[in-house]
Amino acid sequence: MKKSNAFITGLLLVGLAFTPEHAIAQKADKGPTIAPEAGWEVAPPPTNYNPTLKQKLDQFTNKYNLGTEAIVNPIIVLDPGHGGSDPGAIGNGVQEKDIVLDTALRCKTYLLANYPATVYMTRSTDTTVSLESRVAYANNVGANFFVSMHNNSYSTSTPSGLETYNYYGSTNGKALAQATYDKLKASYSVLRGVKEAGFYVLKYTNMPATLGETGFVSNPTDAANLASPSFRQNLAVQYAQGMHTYWWGF
């Protein structure tokens, strides 16, 4: 995802200097202020969005090891961002859509080989998928949680590092964002934190959801890492291990 020029202007107006590690306060229902998601303002909610169910699942505690109603085999939806006619962020010879698709495919393989889970993907090839279609699909399969994978970009090459997001005030979403962040951070020297945002895929998924921004393609070091298959394999495993911590508790 690409940073907003409006954000830069806002910083200049209030006299603040941008630092990669600085966590900017977000305002609920105003959309993201530092990593705009294309179409978030105009895309309608999917018809199967259920705010009552979303609230219920956000408070759900009977996971694998927490009671007789525990769900042993969770349904996970992986969401590689962008795709097809939408390349996402581009820089230093890499495209976001390619990086996140490969990472998600590797993550699915690892999950299925190591954990009792059912795993779906919003796209498994280089195809264009709308925000509404991504979320409607996750809601339709009754996912227990949703993980959207992205890379970041900026107008200069300085910013770098890792950040994950959850929807404003989401209890389980924050736990999921934190669990994946805690595993992914082993691959990064710059840690930008776990944040809140109004991204469409976080707002309209009925289940707890997180969105990961694993490095800046505009930063030469991050881009070189993301271009490496072994680095993407590490990210895939770390994402999966974070999901395991979130659901199974260890």
CA 219/CA 160 separation, integer angstroms: 6
CB 236 within 8 A of CB 180: no
For range 120-131, the mean pLDDT: 97
pLDDT digits (tens, 9 = 90+) for 172-208: 999 999 999 999 999 999 999 999 999 999 999 999 9
151 membership: H or E segment, kind and range: strand 145-152
CA 182/CA 178 separation, integer angstroms: 6
CA 82/CA 15 separation, integer angstroms: 34
- Integer CA distances (angstroms), 226 to 34, 69, 149, 151, 235, in order: 21, 40, 13, 9, 9
CB 232 within 8 A of CB 102: yes
For range 104-124, the mean pLDDT: 97
Residue 63: pLDDT band (50, 70, 90) is low
Between these two residues, 159 and 42, which has the higher pLDDT value? Answer: 159
Q: What is the pLDDT of residue 196?
A: 96
Q: Is 163 a catalytic residue?
A: no
Q: What is the pLDDT of residue 72?
A: 79
Q: Which domains can be identified in the chain, with CATH numbers?
A: 67-248 (3.40.630.40)
Residue 250: pLDDT band (50, 70, 90) is confident
Tell me the one-letter amino acid at 67.
G
CB 3 within 8 A of CB 155: yes
Name the active-site residue from 37, 96, 163, 213: 213
Asked whether the predicted pLDDT for residue 108 surpasses 80, the reply is: yes
CB 226 within 8 A of CB 89: no
- Determine the straight-line distance between the first and last CA of the chain, rounded to whole angstroms: 31
Distance of CA 236 to the CA centre of its chain: 13
